Structure 1
Amino acid sequence: MTATIKVGVIMDPIADIAYKKDSTLGMLWAAADRNWQLFYLEQPDLYLDNGRAYGLMAPLQVYRDASHWYELGERQARPLADLDVILMRKDPPVDQEFLDATHLLGFAEREGVLVVNPTTALRQCNEKLYAQCFPQCLPPSVVSCNEAVLRAFHAEHHDVIYKPLDGMGGTGIFRVGEDGRNLGAVIEQLTQGGKRQIMVQRYLPEISAGDTRILLIDGEPVPYGLARIPSAGEVRGNLAAGGRGVARDLTERDLWLVEQVKGSIKEQGLIFVGLDVIGDYITEINVTSPTCLREIDDQKGTDIAGQLMDAIEKRLTRA
């Protein structure tokens, strides 16, 4: 494309991000390196006016400076169709506000704006449930809100992980061992008394070697994954839960898992995806705001955000 690409980013407050590791900031740096124009929005800034999508957006400058990483210009109401691409980088939970935002962004898509990731996929591909489409890649798993079903899974597998369907960063995850201690309380709390569906999976002891994030751009894997190794006494490798990130080469099994899912990922139009892998199994497929690119770049000298911007530019050129 010859004209400057205009990029909108929808994210959590930029003033509150973790400068050293925030993946969205890395993406914004990569876009700025290409002299693309950046515009900043938060989720409540989206609105419809007579059936057309608008945003209260501020021109954004980003810097590689830990004490001053951004500047915002004056916020103005503009049609989202003024943008070429919108990075939807609002972190989960995928709650009603998030879903409403995807519907509003859908109006911009109809006017030709590229939303990364596409709004239909953001709604359809729940990060826990989407993985269930590939049972050959999963540890034994059940999704239910029924206490008897959830108890039966524990009785069969003895050491299991219970987790909500809409969490992130390891929040709300419980391990229940063979003694079944607090099993009833865990089920009651997570299902809200039998009203909310949750997931239970067999505990994978391979978590001690790390929960690996594998990043895919247009369905193709980055050659390194980030093994997020739990801190002492933890069962969660998530960096937000205190895990330590170590970049490693992908294994043959990792590449096999990628091959199982990449066709569907491409079919859904997903441009940037994160697979969570423990041992031989996928546990989640992250599509909302996958992270860990900065850690891999720092350790391996890659430019994952740059690769993503190249993929976005190719999509815009084909449009």
Structure 2
Amino acid sequence: MRLLILVNTLDCLDENNALLSNAFHRFGWEVVLGEINAIAADDYRYFTRGVLAGNNGPYDPGSPALGDRETYFLDECQLIWVMSQPEEHVARNVWQMLWIASQHTAFVNSIEGLVFLNTKQALGYVLPKENRAFSYISNDFSLLWERYRQSQDKWWVAKPPNAAYGRNVFLLPPNGPNVRTILQCLTGNAGVPDIGWGGVGGFKAEYAILQQFIPEVAQGEKRVIVSCGKAVAWHGRQARPDDHRSNITQGGKLISVDLHSNEIGLAELLGQKLMAHGINFVGIDMAYPYILEFNVSSPGGLYDAKVASGTDRSDQVAQLIIAHFKKH
């Protein structure tokens, strides 16, 4: 059996590329690490450049995929796992070719799910109201500004719908002096005149989310990895004293935590809802009883959970994925 894992670069593997390629190799699978931005077609047979994993020992996060780079056809694989978003200027073509390939070959996470559900905008679709923060979504600065002004006594969070790693996430205090500027910035400064003779035309608006701040976040967040609807690994994150974001990439502290039964139930409820859309591997950010967001592309957490707990759960992830696709 052959698994193709599509990555952004073969020169530096992230935690999922390393741990999960090792796990599938331990279960006797042939694993190919392929470049997602190199998808191409030979008479409408789709292929990419890649490296056969496992010949140079197990990988560690950050290591390169050593070996000769060869051509691998997608229809010669039994399973494909998209582990990276394609680069923006080729993304439309890559997603289109991968969707066509997915009509004949199984994907761990469906192309439809990766394109349409890998966004903070999807929380209202997959979660009950009591498990998500109240939010406004718009590319109209005036609408978001008016919503904030109507509740200026509350704390809010403003952020882009499709950014990751805590990028451009702002905590807006009551009657904050910079809130107007922040909301203008996040919506593309579309209503701010350009300096210069005659100005510059064109559509510049960008979407932003204005979300009520959840006090539970101050106690720390939990990242939960869910595979085929089962919570398999988790760890805690605490923000720095000088930052409201707990993302590890923003200096958040990794801690070991327990997951109580209600948290497991909520994570698995979301995982099962996503499975109905072909999403079988997801990372969930939780401050119970709220889900803050989820990532279905290449969610970090499996390696961090290993560091925090001392236990590597990648074999359990692989077993669940293999068993799921044997049944389908």
Structure 2 residue aligned with 1:201: 211
Q: Distance in 2 between matches of 1:218 and 1:127?
A: 19
Partner Cα distance (2:287, 2:17) in 1: 25
Deviation at 1:63, TM superposition (A): 3.8
Q: Is the 8 A contact 1:92 1:288 kept in 2?
A: no
| Alignment-mate amino acid for residue 170 of structure 2 | F
Q: Which runs of structure 2 are paired with 1:1-319 in the superposition (5 Å)?
A: 5-17=1-13, 22-61=15-54, 63-64=57-58, 69-91=63-85, 95=88, 97-111=90-104, 113-133=105-125, 134=127, 135-155=129-149, 156=151, 158-194=154-190, 195-222=205-232, 225-258=234-267, 260-319=269-328
Quote the offset at 1:300 in angstroms: 2.6
8 Å Cα contact 1:92/1:168 also seen in 2: no
Distance (whole Å) between structure 1 residues aligned to residue 106 and residue 243 of structure 2: 40
Letter in 2 for 1:89: M
Q: Which amino acid aligns with 1:131?
A: L
| Change beyond 3 A, Cα 1:99–1:258 | farther
List runs of 5+ in structure 1 lacking aligned partners: none
**How far is 1:67 from its partner?**
10
RMSD: 2.4
Quote how far apart the aligned CAs of 1:91 are: 4.8
Distance (Å, rounded) in 1 between the aligned partners of 2:86 and 2:109: 14
Supply the distance in 2 between the matched residues of 1:37 and 1:256 (Cα, whole angstroms).
34
Q: 1:89 to 1:250 in 2, by over 3 A?
A: same
Question: What count of residue pairs does the alignment treat as equivalent?
Answer: 309
1:45 corresponds to which letter in structure 2?
A
Q: Which runs of 5+ in 2 are unaligned?
A: 191-204
Deviation for aligned residue 1:281: 0.8
- Report how far residue 88 of structure 1 moved: 0.8
CA distances 1:67-120 after superposition (whole Å, capped 9, x unpaired): 994443322223211112222111588x46345323222222222x22221111
Post-superposition CA distance 1:261-284 (Å, at most 9, x none)? 244212112110111112421111
Q: 155-164 vs 53-62, which deviates more? A: 53-62
Code of the residue aligned with 1:141 in structure 2: it is: S
Deviation, 1:260, is: 4.3
CA distance in 2, matches of 1:142, 1:253: 27
Structure 1 residue 140: Cα displacement: 1.6
- Deviations along 1:159-181, one digit per CA (max 9) or x if unpaired, are 11111111111011111211322
In 2: Cα distance, 1:16 partner to 1:76 partner? 18
Contact 1:105 1:115 in 2 (8 A): no
Q: Secondary structure at the match of 1:100?
A: helix
Whole-angstrom distance in 2 between the partners of 1:36 and 1:264: 28
- 8 A Cα contact 2:13 2:64, kept in partner: no
Instruction: Provide the TM-score with structure 1 as the length reference.
Output: 0.87
1:16 aligns to what SS in structure 2? coil
**What secondary structure does 1:110 align onto?**
coil
TM-score with structure 2 length normalisation? 0.85
Matched residues in 2 for 1:89 and 1:169: separation?
A: 16
